[in-house]
Chain A
Amino acid sequence: MVRLFFVETLYEKEIYLTDKLKKYLKENKPKTIALFAAIQFIKLEKLKKEIENLDIIIKTTKAKRTGVEMQILGCDNYHDSFKEPIIEDCDMILYVGDGLFHPKALLLSQIKNKKIKSVVLFDPISNEIKELTKKDIENQIKKTKANIRKFLNSDKIGILVTIKPGQQYFEAAKTLKEKIEKQNKKSYIFIDNTLDLRNLENYPFIECWVNTACPRIGTDDITTINQPMINMREAFDPIKALEDLEN
């Protein structure tokens, strides 16, 4: 068995409340902030203290798959991905880091809420502030709804399984296959290491796909492929998933 060792690769400079971020907070006047960060930017003691000095309450929580409090991963993208519901209980969601993959999980996790709160991105390297809004995932929500409907109406389902240990759900895939076949439908399980979605077109007999690997394949990659695909979670309870989205 191969042993694993992780290097967090922390950002070396101290992260503080820049004038730009201070101005932004003063303009938007949040009373409470739900604070998240990518692991490289997790050392936020100074920034937290400086924000609290503006009479703003900072709330943090631990997301299910992460190693530490406040960290956010791309796959913690469901409403029940967090220990405490701080996203619902805050005026502003603030993410410290670069890139869009991780903070987008904070938007996707609100998909079943009536109001999807924007996520404010603060990049300590460039001192840039951006906002991710509902608009940034609207296409994904639309596609997800359409794909779940397609799944419900499909008779031949393809289930994708990766053999990468961190994302492998072979047993769940087999359980899902049984569940699907109890409804007099056919399903096939496809196995690979990296799931290269260009291969989907080789199986034109499949009417809808289910992804069991990284959940972001079923939320993000679906907008760039022609074939309908949903995540395993939705496939186990498609009616409930559809109800949540149509709230």
Chain B
Amino acid sequence: MFNLELNKVIEEIKKQKPKQVLIQLPDGLKQKANIIVDTIEEKTSAKTFILFGSCYGACDPPYGLDVIKIDLMIQWGHNRFHKETW
């Protein structure tokens, strides 16, 4: 029902050439995580992992992903947002 745009995702991965990718999905799409990982790993050489927990919005990528050397995080269901300045 919702377009996962896997072609666009694959294209982006091929362009950016990350070694390690993390995918972040809203709860309603978490059941598709295996399909997304399988597709990315079949079509690119990026190792792909799934964020286990929350995906509240574009404001919600977790901190510290560089420690485990994630090069690219892909989040579904949201678009770029503008953080308020204080």
Residues of B near A214 (CB, < 8 A) are: 56, 59
Residues of A near B18 (CB, < 8 A) are: 3
B38 at the interface (CB under 8 A from A): no
Task: Assess whether B9 is in contact with A193, with CB atoms less than 8 Å apart.
Answer: no
Q: Which of B29-86 contact A (CB under 8 A)?
A: 29, 53-54, 56-66, 70-84, 86
Q: Is the interface of B mostly helix, strand, loop or mixed?
A: loop
Q: How far is the CB of B46 from chain A (nearest CB, A)?
A: 12
| Interface stretch of the complex, out of A22-30, A110-118, A133-141, A166-174 | A166-174
A45 at the interface (CB under 8 A from B): no
Q: How far is the CB of A150 from chain B (nearest CB, A)?
A: 23
Residues of A near B78 (CB, < 8 A) are: 6, 8, 39
Task: Assess whether A9 is in contact with B61, with CB atoms less than 8 Å apart.
Answer: no
- With A40-B2, A166-B83 given, is the CB distance from A5 to B61 under 8 Å? no
Residue with the greatest number of chain B CB neighbours at <10 A, chosen from A1, A5, A74, A168: A5
Which single residue of chain B is at the shortest CB-CB distance from A39?
B79
- Chain A, 165-191, contact with B by CB distance < 8 Å: what is the 0/1 string? 111110110010000000000000000
- Chain A, 210-247, contact with B by CB distance < 8 Å: what is the 0/1 string? 00001000000000000000001000000000000000
Task: Assess whether B81 is in contact with A166, with CB atoms less than 8 Å apart.
Answer: yes
Residues of B near A169 (CB, < 8 A) are: 86
- With A40-B2, A166-B60 given, is the CB distance from A5 to B12 under 8 Å? yes
A154 at the interface (CB under 8 A from B): no
A197 at the interface (CB under 8 A from B): no
Residues of B near A166 (CB, < 8 A) are: 57-61, 81, 83
Residues of B near A232 (CB, < 8 A) are: 86
- With A3-B72, A3-B73 given, is the CB distance from A9 to B5 under 8 Å? yes
Which single residue of chain A is at the shortest CB-CB distance from B56?
A214
Residues of B near A8 (CB, < 8 A) are: 5, 77-79
Residues of A near B16 (CB, < 8 A) are: 3, 5
Task: Assess whether A75 is in contact with B72, with CB atoms less than 8 Å apart.
Answer: no
Q: How far is the CB of A193 from chain B (nearest CB, A)?
A: 6
Residue with the greatest number of chain A CB neighbours at <10 A, chosen from B18, B60, B74: B60
